[in-house]
Amino acid sequence: MGRKPKEEQSQLYNRLAVLRAERQLTRQELADAVGVNYQTVGYLERGDYSPSLELAFRLSAFFGLPIEAIFAREPFAPMSDQVYAQAE
Amino acid sequence: MNETAVVEVPRPEPIEPVERVMTWRDAVTPVSRASRRRWTAVYPLLLTGAGVAVAAPHLLGLGENSGVTFGLLIVMAVVFGMLRRGTRRLTAVDHPELDERDAFARAHAFRAAYPLLLTVLILTFLALFLVLLPEIDRTTREGPNITGSESGFFVTSVGLIGVLLWGFFWAVFLPTGVLAWREPDALERETVTRARG
């Protein structure tokens, strides 16, 4: 069961909004794919809710990415920075 | 002679906005958490006011049967209905559309409501004992004055029903109140755009 982050140390950052935008998905489509309400997708993206391990694995499988590419304890660097860093 | 090459640039496909329609699931009423919290704070004030109006109307400068209690109960019903409209889905037992976040929010609300209810009940019984103990003591020493309307310690059915209703209203309100207090702001309208075709 997931829990709602209350303190700074329990904050979980994620890239769901970016990944969803990349794949041109609506919240409803992503929600249907992983079996939650579309509002929960929005709350996840906003950081209002931290997912259970089960839901994190479902999201990971859906996007075809390792969990650490989607969720992190520290804020993610902008994707553009990472892309340019790899190109150099 | 300079030749100019004409390069055809493909025109972008028109995009079709995909806008999520607000449904009853969004109806955490009122939508903003700040406003919801203000209304959540109003209900305990109304309930306390109604309780005082029944138990000790003189403290509010009211006469007995002033009708204020009835008015407060009506307003309480409206405020509770407004908060309940948005939280009824979450507090429903085994609702088929509840997902893990909803179930977590509900469990958290009931868990937080329980100590709050205990606090209210303990304070209520303390207040009752502080008010009633002198009366009980006096009645024990002097004996009840049955002919006097205000003398002696009597537990009436109306008084008992009042205390029960007081606990009942708190018990029903607190889980809804906690949910209304804690649920995040409703999501903004989704305006994802998608390339056609």
What are the domain boundaries of chain B?
15-89+98-186
Per-residue model confidence (pLDDT) at position B15: 52
B17 touches B191 (CB < 8 A): yes
Q: Show residues of chain B in contact with A24, CB under 8 Å.
A: 192, 194-195
Q: Looking at domain A8-87, which of 1.10.260.40, 3.40.50.720, 3.20.20.70, 1.10.10.10 is its CATH number? A: 1.10.260.40
- Return the SS3 of A13: strand
Alpha-carbon distance B166 to nearest alpha carbon in chain A (angstroms): 32
> Using the beta-carbon criterion (under 8 Å), do B192 and A26 form an inter-chain contact?
yes
Candidates A10, A23, A39, A41, partner chain B, best to mutate (most B CBs within 10 A): A39
Which has more pLDDT, B65 or B39?
B39
d(C-alpha B184, C-alpha B180), whole Å: 9
- Cβ burial of B74 (10 Å; 0-12, 13-18, 19+) is exposed
- pLDDT for res B185: 81
What angle separates helix B157-182 from helix B33-55, to the nearest 10 degrees? 170
Map chain B to HEC letters: CCCCCCCCCCCCCCEEEEECCCCHHHCCCCCCHHHHHHHHHHHHHHHHHHHHHHHCHHHHCCCCCCCHHHHHHHHHHHHHHHHHHHHHHHHCCCCCCCCHHHHHHHHHHHHHHHHHHHHHHHHHHHHHHHHHHHHHHHHHHHCCCCCCCCCCCCCCHHHHHHHHHHHHHHHHHHHHHHHHHHCCCCCCCCEEEEECC
Stretch B25-47: mean pLDDT: 81
Residue B121 pLDDT class (50, 70, 90 cuts): very high
Nearest to A39 among B25, B107, B194 (CB): B25
Instruction: Give residue limits of the domains in chain A.
Output: 8-87
Residue A67 host element (H or E): helix A67-70
In the prediction, which pLDDT does B67 show? 81
Interface confidence: ipTM more than 0.90? no
Return d(Cα B173, Cα B40) in angstroms, integer: 9
B53 exposure class (CB count in 10 Å sphere: 0-12, 13-18, 19+): buried
pLDDT tens sequence across A64-84: 999 999 999 888 887 777 777
**Nearest CA-CA distance, residue B187 and chain A, Å:** 7
pTM of the entire structure? 0.73
**Range with top average pLDDT, B5-19, B64-78, B99-113:** B99-113
Measured in Å, how far apart are chain A's first and last C-alpha atoms?
Answer: 42
Pick from B57, B55, B47, B62: which is nearest to B132 by CA? Answer: B55
Contact status, residue A9 vs residue A67, Cβ threshold 8 Å: no
Name the β-bridge partners of A13. Answer: A72
A4 or B43, greater pLDDT = B43
Q: For residue A50, give the chain B residue with the closest CA.
A: B101
How many beta carbons lie within 10 A of that of residue B52, not counting itself? 17
A42 contacts on B by Cβ (under 8 Å): 187, 190
What percent of chain B is modeled with pLDDT above 90? 30
* Distance between first and last Cα of chain B: 43
Contacts of residue B95 in chain A, CB cutoff 8 Å?
Answer: none
What is the rounded CA–CA span in Å between residue B38 and residue B35? 5
Contact at CB, B104 and A43, closer than 8 angstroms: no
